Each structure stands twice: as C-alpha cells, then as structure tokens.
Amino acid sequence: MNYWPTKYDDADWHYGSDDYQKDWDTRLACTHIGMFIAWAHYSGLMNLQGMRADHGKEWFERLRRGEGSFGEMTEDIFDEKLIGDDLTDEGGAFADWYYKRYLAEFTDFLPADAPSPYHLADNSDTFQKISALLDTRLAEFRLLPREDDGDGVSEKQPALVPTSNLVAAFQLFWNRITGRRA
C-alpha cells in the first residue's frame, strides 16, 4: 500500500494561482508556511528526521537570532511545503483542526498597504505576533473535549480540512477583506 502524507500547504498552490503575479518572488508564498513551521518547532510540535532535523536545527537557531527569513528556510528545508510527516501527532491534529483558519487569520498581520496576502513581512516582529496567535489557538485546541474510541485512550476529534480547498478559501477571504469580487 502506498502512503501519501497529508499536505497542509504548498507554495506552488499559491504562486501557481491566478492571483499571484508572475513577477513576484516565489518566496512570498513561503513566508506564512515558514512562520507556522518555525512556531511548531519552537512549540515542540515538529518531528523532523535525518538531514531535515540536522539542517532544521541550524535554521531554527538562525531564525531565533533574527537571521535569515522564514520564506528562505521553507524553501531550503521543506521544499516549500508543510506536510504531516514533519509534525508530531499533536502537531498534525492541531494542523488538521486549525490550518485552514490560519490562512485567514495570519492576514491580520499584513501591512496596511499590502498588495496581497503574500506580502507578509518576513521578519521576527511579524513572527512574534503570529506566534502569539498560534499559542492562543493551540491553547484552545488543547481544551477541546476528547473522545474515547474504545482503546482507553482519549483522542481529540478535529474537523478535517480538505487541503484542496485551502487556496480557494485563502483567495475568498482576501477578496472579502479587500472588497474585490470573484
């Protein structure tokens, strides 16, 4: 049986869309992904293995010191993607429950003159604000009721998000806040 890991986000979904101008750097589509990944790492929700773990450790230390960019890290280590295999079980359950909402909520931290949701400032100031949001959402997630599936272990039952609709949801939200019609 083939195993296909859950893919929560892929920069290609964004820079391959009609709303992404061809002259924009592809790294713009990586920033929000990288900020989620870095936050998950610092929160103990990543499960990196092998070279990704070694190289990731260096990158996360650089980012903690304010060096490099979240978009660059996402390109360099994560092939511009957020996938379930890189998350712990709790990290994956949290991403299942929240990631689609994250795509809407991170836009609260865009500069007022941002021409698109991809123009998130790729810096530690923005990351601190997004981290506070993610910390709040993780605390909410951890308070969800648990259900016992009969094995004596309680499991959170997150609402699963069809990842094929993430870019569409992202674009609809952006259109709503900018007053554009689809």
Q: Are 6 and 57 contacting, i.e. CB atoms less than 8 angstroms apart?
A: no
Instruction: Point out which residues pair with 154 in neighbouring strands.
Output: 148
Q: How confident is the model at residue 25 (pLDDT cuts 50, 70, 90)?
A: very high
Task: State the pLDDT at residue 113.
Answer: 92
Task: State the pLDDT at residue 53.
Answer: 87
User: Which tens digits make up the pLDDT trace of 60-93?
Assistant: 999 999 999 999 999 999 999 999 999 999 999 9
User: Which tens digits make up the pLDDT trace of 151-180?
Assistant: 554 554 444 444 445 555 555 555 555 665
**pTM of structure:** 0.81
Encoded tokens for 149 = 């599936």
